[in-house]
Structure 1
Amino acid sequence: MSTSLSAIRNALSAARSQTYTSARSMPRDFYTSNEFLDLEKSSLFAMEWNCIGRVEEIPNPGDYMAFQLCDEPLLATRGNDAQIRVMSNVCRHRGTLLASGSGNSQHIVCPYHHWSYELDGKLARAPRMEEHTDFDMSSCRLPEFKSEIWLGFIFVSLNPHAKPLTPQLQQLEGLIGNYHMEEMQARFVGDEVWTTNWKCFVENFMEGYHLSPLHKATLHAVNPTRLCTHYPPSDVHFGYHAGFSPDLPRSTKGHPDLQDHEVDNCVMFSIPPGLVSGCAGDYSSFICVQPESVDRVRLKMGLLFYGDHWTQETIDHAVELFHRTNAEDRDVLVKMSKGLKSQSHQVGALSSSNFEGPLLDFYKYLDRKLSPVLGA
């Protein structure tokens, strides 16, 4: 085993026994090692459940969206039976990518030789293949991957043996069930690429320690650091509560099921490796995370709004705040990426459970998932 992986293995093993009052950050190799990133892709992203977006992105029969997961080109479609399926985006003829972006079509047509597929992946047409003696159109179809819909989020796993996701999220549903994210609508979705390690992004989203210092002009007035409280993680999720400032007038309470303490709170949660979300009564945020390299991460960002009373002006205001906050995060994570490459970098002590406790939860999750392949 390389020196880099040994250092990471030892750090994750140490986190296994750390408490919230003794937790420490990770060594630089944890974020900068290409070898470790390859292991994360093959043993984490390729094996676990990954969020790829929302059902509202493909609401109608014939809707599709293309994406890539761990170098695997995939295609999510809404069939005429209203079912969402996730299939290979690679033509069964000679391997051309079938679709890009998103759109609506009753058939998925390969741009190369016009082989076409039904929305459920079955081959519908293969021009001029009648003379082939060993080709059966009826048995030719696009491979389908395991997928689940949870509270309006679309999840997919490349692992054919992945355990069903929804039963594993019952503890989290107990926290956010009254918010009814499945009834919210995505009024904004965008894609960005940030120059940072994917774990730096997740860590930043999942700790409230920085909310007041970094976001003094944006989030401090909404969710100040002092109102953050940690909650116990499960094997498949972790997070914290970001309380809303009592000085801030709320525009709407959200779903009628919400209790007063829920209205005054935003549940920050992560379903690792690839989803982080801030769940609130009026509107919520979500970000799907996919690493491209040790210092590049692709993000699908969205805002979900409850109810149909929202004006375009109020939606635009929420999106603008989201962009400003993200810009502040992006700038500091770029600086962190540069600092992590320094030979002088050293691990540091983490703040209390309410402020940086989710980072230790994240490290323990990664230890559980990766220690078998790291030999820890």
Structure 2
Amino acid sequence: MTDRAHRPRRRSPWAHREGPMLMDDRQIAARILEHIEGGTTDTGGEIWREPVANYLSPDRFAAERAVLRRLAVPFCPSAALAEPGAYVARLAAGTPILVVRGQDGTVRAFRNACRHRGVELASGSGCTRAFTCRYHGWTYRLDGTLSLVPHEGGFPGLDKAAHGLVPVHAWEQAGLVFIKQDDDDAGGDIMNDLPAGLMAPGQAVFATAEREVEANWKIVAEGFLEGYHIRSTHRDTFYPYGFDNLNVVECFGRNSRVTFPFRRIAKLAQVPPAERRVDGLVTYVYHLFPNVMVAVLSQHTKVVVLEPLDPGRTRLVTYALANAGRDGDANREAAARDAAFVDQTGAAEDREVSQAIQRGLASGANRHFTYGLFESAIVHFHRTLDAALRGPRLS
């Protein structure tokens, strides 16, 4: 086992998979066991060269943020809005957005600005019965309607119905809240390919965090999407438990899933195929295009939103949710330990590498980055982003 774990990975007869359906536990287990036996990994069919200018250009950055506003994108887990009045307010593609669960249970999104003088109505997260502007006290119900204007006589003829919060299209799907800022219909139905079990039923958020990383948002995203770096970057953290450059890569629609197996999955070779389960034996990393990662780990699930701030700076908005065990109960203490290990070790290493890449851009050493056959999920990401930048619809 040790020799195989250190064996250089060869190209595999398994190409990365594209299609509407993701593999189930038994298929994933069979593919990983074959990779372990053969010293192989999933490979793509092309080399991709991405111009370094695309990580530095303000014009390119502005066009990418326009894509994030045009497409349907995840905003937060549904579990972050667990009760009526629960809200999350943050930037989304540079736009202040307020998302709230109404008294009727429906999730709604609004542009986060008072209709009087434009002050942001809320920040962060919390729970409220109404939103009151701290400047002059204009007050809005959870459905966005304007309910109170102090000294209303000073605004003769004010049409309250026309001065509610400006809505943004929002809905829930697969345990996530999606928003779509632009009014056109491009991308309105492209989330139909999401797996139904992406987020487990009954999950609760046990931690949230925000941090800024001095790196382009695409560089941060790329760190989630390949296992070619595991041994060299995570030698003392992830690598003792996993494999270097052994992954299953699946693309579904504009999205992808990369499976990172733990070494202990080798014991499934002794289990009849029909009885194989991969719970606790793999980490699934879903890339929900363009800028959201969902990592399903042993004890917890992490939703990471990459909010681009400028060409060299990204805010990571992270939600940690406890996974339910086979008995259906979630162990929050185990989930918190799991999350702390990941964030303080391997994830911290990935953030530092992202920042080192960004600093290296200034060297002028590279005119493009080369993504190889082991980095096919990154190739899929860039190909899809290029298509989105070219027109209103993905092709």
What's the TM-score bracket when you normalise by the shorter of the two chains? 0.7 to 0.9
Instruction: State which of 358, 361, 366 in structure 2 corresponds to 1:337.
Output: 358
TM-aligned CA deviation for residue 248 of structure 1: 9.1
TM-aligned CA deviation for residue 134 of structure 1: 2.2
Q: Given residue 65 of structure 2, which amino acid in structure 1 is its aligned partner?
A: K
1:220 corresponding residue in structure 2: 239
1:36 corresponding residue in structure 2: 60
Q: What is the Cα-based RMSD across aligned positions, in Å?
A: 2.5
TM value normalised by structure 2: 0.79
TM-aligned CA deviation for residue 131 of structure 1: 4.9
2:51 corresponding residue in structure 1: 27
2:290 corresponding residue in structure 1: 273
The separation in 1 between residues aligned to 2:231 and 2:89, in whole angstroms, is 38
The answer for unaligned runs of 5 or more in structure 1 is 1-18, 251-257
1:318 corresponding residue in structure 2: 339
Cα pair 1:269 1:277 within 8 Å, conserved:
yes
The separation in 2 between residues aligned to 1:172 and 1:263, in whole angstroms, is 22
Instruction: State which of 98, 103, 107 in structure 2 corresponds to 1:84.
Output: 107
The separation in 2 between residues aligned to 1:372 and 1:139, in whole angstroms, is 33
Cα pair 2:131 2:141 within 8 Å, conserved:
yes
The separation in 1 between residues aligned to 2:343 and 2:267, in whole angstroms, is 18
Alignment of 1:349-360 (within 5 A): 349-352=370-373, 355-360=374-379
Cα pair 2:256 2:286 within 8 Å, conserved:
yes
Cα pair 1:221 1:248 within 8 Å, conserved:
no
2:218 corresponding residue in structure 1: 199
Alignment of 1:165-176 (within 5 A): 168-173=190-195
The separation in 1 between residues aligned to 2:229 and 2:293, in whole angstroms, is 16
Instruction: State which of 185, 199, 202 in structure 2 corresponds to 1:183.
Output: 202
The separation in 1 between residues aligned to 2:178 and 2:84, in whole angstroms, is 19
What secondary structure is seen at the aligned counterpart in 2 of 1:360?
A: helix
The separation in 2 between residues aligned to 1:281 and 1:326, in whole angstroms, is 15
Cα pair 2:85 2:128 within 8 Å, conserved:
yes
Distance 1:348 1:313, change over 3 A: closer
Distance 1:246 1:170, change over 3 A: farther
The separation in 2 between residues aligned to 1:94 and 1:126, in whole angstroms, is 13
Instruction: State which of 305, 308, 320 in structure 2 corresponds to 1:288.
Output: 305
Cα pair 1:193 1:299 within 8 Å, conserved:
yes
The separation in 2 between residues aligned to 1:162 and 1:341, in whole angstroms, is 39
Instruction: State which of 253, 257, 273 in structure 2 corresponds to 1:239.
Output: 257
TM-aligned CA deviation for residue 222 of structure 1: 3.2
Cα pair 1:303 1:319 within 8 Å, conserved:
no
The separation in 1 between residues aligned to 2:276 and 2:207, in whole angstroms, is 27
What secondary structure is seen at the aligned counterpart in 1 of 2:215?
A: coil
The separation in 1 between residues aligned to 2:332 and 2:314, in whole angstroms, is 32
TM-aligned CA deviation for residue 227 of structure 1: 2.9
Alpha-carbon deviations, 1:326-355, whole Å to 9, x = none?
A: 210111111111111222214354332xx3
What secondary structure is seen at the aligned counterpart in 1 of 2:51?
A: coil
Alignment of 1:71-150 (within 5 A): 71-150=94-173
Distance 1:170 1:155, change over 3 A: closer
TM-aligned CA deviation for residue 21 of structure 1: 4.5
State how many pairs are aligned: 340
TM value normalised by structure 1: 0.83
The separation in 2 between residues aligned to 1:171 and 1:311, in whole angstroms, is 30
1:254 corresponding residue in structure 2: none
Q: Which has the higher strand share?
A: 2
Cα pair 1:22 1:349 within 8 Å, conserved:
no
TM-aligned CA deviation for residue 72 of structure 1: 1.8
Alignment of 1:255-274 (within 5 A): 260-261=277-278, 264-274=281-291
Alpha-carbon deviations, 1:219-265, whole Å to 9, x = none?
A: 1133323431222x233212322122226999xxxxxxx95146633
What secondary structure is seen at the aligned counterpart in 2 of 1:106?
A: coil
Identity of aligned residues (%): 23
The answer for unaligned runs of 5 or more in structure 2 is 1-42, 269-274
Distance 1:206 1:60, change over 3 A: same
Answer with 216-225 or 313-322: which moved more: 313-322
